[in-house]
Each structure stands twice: as structure tokens, then as C-alpha cells.
Amino acid sequence: MLSFVAMGVLSASCVSTAQTPLETGGELGVLVMAHGGGPAWNGEVEAMLAPLREDYPLEIAFGMAEAASLQNSIVRLEERGVRRIAVVRLFVSGESWYERTEQILGLAPGANPRAADHGGHSGHGGHGAHAGHGGAAPQAMTHDMALWRIETQSSFAISKEGLAEAPEMGAVLAERVRGLSTDPSRESVLVLAHGPETDDENQRWLTLIDARADAGRREGPFRRVQAESLREDWPEKRADSEIRIRAFVEQATQNNGRAIVIPYRVTGFGPYADVLEGLEYAADEKGLLPSSEVERWVRRQVAELSAGSFRKPLHAHGSE
């Protein structure tokens, strides 16, 4: 389990070293970045955020840090008078797309202004090759991963905490366990996440998610409670993970045992039903949504961001 010091170092590693002006005034708006998927996936995020719309001007940029989606959302906020934007990144990993987001918002170097052939429209969704997935985007959905810097009049504060390290998610896991467990003494619980590419980052994921799983452990005592990742987008890594995941479920059902599988994803069950085909297990196939705990986490991010400083882009709008 990571210490609080180590978790602080992990979060600090995401902070840009670029020196940008700070801004404290102006109307506050909220921009939530989410992976996006089909209508059901997006609908769960929309429903969770509906109460926040009563308190803040709020937009959702679906896609894995897509410049066009971010630009469109920011334009809509600015049309409502917003000039300070709290950017809440609804991803499992706090590291997912952080640097790219800073570049697109102009808070860090690395992205040029939008080229003439990049329109201002983007389909919701997109399937990036990194962390934070809640479900694969349908084939019909489009995404544009071209890197360019948006035009904006606003200043920004960006969240650094991922859902993997959010203490509120422990309550979600406990709720899922309570709904599925019938006899903890003979049950084993598998908390299953998407997973990143590198081994070091994957271990950080598992350490953080395992800490969240402590809330589920307290619903027991269970035979075992274990966090695993499928590492879905990397075939060689995935093959090894599938063997380990299936072995856990098979062993859990021995000696009159029972396996419970809980996805640590924003929404849905992802590809886990295919991975576990032919095995016996209990699952409600819910991700972290629906749950009021995710809304509570978003509200905490907004509160913490709004209490701090907002950074202006390195290149002010209209300066080029």
C-alpha cells in the first residue's frame, strides 16, 4: 500500500514545471473530462453530474483529452460568462492524459495553435490507448487525437487525483460487495480494472485500488479480496493477465466457494464477461457509476480547485 508521502509524490509528478500566470478572479465554471462511450455510458455520467449543473455552469468533454471536444466545451462555458474553469478529470488514473491536457489548454508548451484543417466539432467518445477507460467506444464513434492548442479567454485549474486514489471509491466497492455477498466466509472478491501498459505504473494502480478495496474487506471476512488489472490494450500483457484472472475465479469456486467480480471502471463491465466466459461468478456488472460517491468526489475536486489558483495559458488568446 502506498504511503501518504508516496501518494503525494505521485500526484506532484503530474504538475507542470511551466511558469504560467496565476488568476483568481472571474466567473467559475466546471469542465469534466470523461472517456465517453455509447449512449448508456455517457448517460450515466450525465446523470451523475446533473445535480452539479444546479450549482455551476458545467460542460462535459467526452474523449481522452481530445482538443476539439475540449475547445467546444470551453467555448460553451465562456459564452455563459465563465472565465475560471475547474477541470475535473474523471479517469481512474490521475496520470492519464494530464500532460496532454495541459498542452491543449496552453498551460504547458508542446501544442501549436489549431491548424486550418482541424474543425471545431468532435464526436463524443473516442478510445484512447491509455488509462481511465470505463468502456470501449463503439466502432461508429469518431475521435481526433491530433494535438493542438485551443483558443480561450479563461484561466484553468486541473485536478490531479484519479478515481484509483479517491477515498470515496472505497464506499462504492463496499456497496457493490454488500449487494452481491451472501456468505462472506466462503467468498472471494476480485476487483478488476483496465490497467496501463508499463509494469511500474500497473503496480501503482493495483496498490491504490487495493487500498480502496479495504472498505470491501470490512464487509467480510472473505476468503480473499484481490485487485487485478486486465491491461486491455496490450495483447502480451493482457494474455498473462487473463490467465491470472481466470485462475483467481477458478480457485475461488473450489471447496464450495464463490467468486464475486467487481469492475473498477467508470461505468459498465467492459470485456470482463468475455474474459470470464465459462466460469461461475457473481457480478452486477456495475462500474463505479451509478453512485452518489462519484458525484461527491467531483464536488470535492471542484471545491479544492476553486480554493486554489488558476493559471492562464502561456499564449494569451489573440496574441499570435
Q: What residue ranges define each of the domains in the chain, with the CATH number in brackets?
A: 16-164+293-311 (3.40.50.1400), 166-288 (3.40.50)
pLDDT at 26: 58
The whole-angstrom separation of Cα 315 and Cα 299 is 30
The whole-angstrom separation of Cα 252 and Cα 315 is 56
Return the closest-CA partner of residue 246 out of 281, 219, 211, 212. 281
DSSP category for residue 204: H
Residue given cell 465563465 in the structure block: 82
In the sheet that holds 27-34, the strands lie side by side as 22-23, 310-311, 155-158, 82-90, 27-34, 58-62
In the sheet that holds 258-264, the strands lie side by side as 224-229, 187-193, 258-264
Bridge-partner residues for 123, per DSSP? none
pLDDT at 115: 75
Is 124 within 8 Å of 36 (Cβ atoms)?
yes
Bridge-partner residues for 282, per DSSP? 260
Residue 28 is which amino acid? L
pLDDT string in tens for the chain (320-residue length): 333 333 333 333 333 333 333 444 458 999 999 998 889 999 999 999 999 999 999 999 999 899 999 999 999 999 999 999 999 999 999 988 999 999 999 999 998 998 754 444 433 333 333 333 333 333 233 456 789 999 999 999 999 999 999 999 999 999 999 999 999 999 999 999 999 999 999 999 999 999 999 999 999 999 999 999 999 999 999 999 999 999 999 999 999 999 999 999 999 999 999 999 999 999 999 999 999 999 999 999 999 999 999 999 997 544 44
Is 125 within 8 Å of 62 (Cβ atoms)?
yes
pLDDT at 144: 65
Burial class (CB in 10 A: 0-12, 13-18, 19+), 9: exposed
Is 176 within 8 Å of 289 (Cβ atoms)?
no
**What three-state secondary structure class fits 83?**
strand
What is the pTM (predicted TM-score) of this model? Answer: 0.82
Bridge-partner residues for 58, per DSSP? 30
77-89 burial string, b = 16+ CB within 10 Å, else e?
A: bbeeebbbbbbbb
The whole-angstrom separation of Cα 223 and Cα 217 is 10
The whole-angstrom separation of Cα 49 and Cα 32 is 9
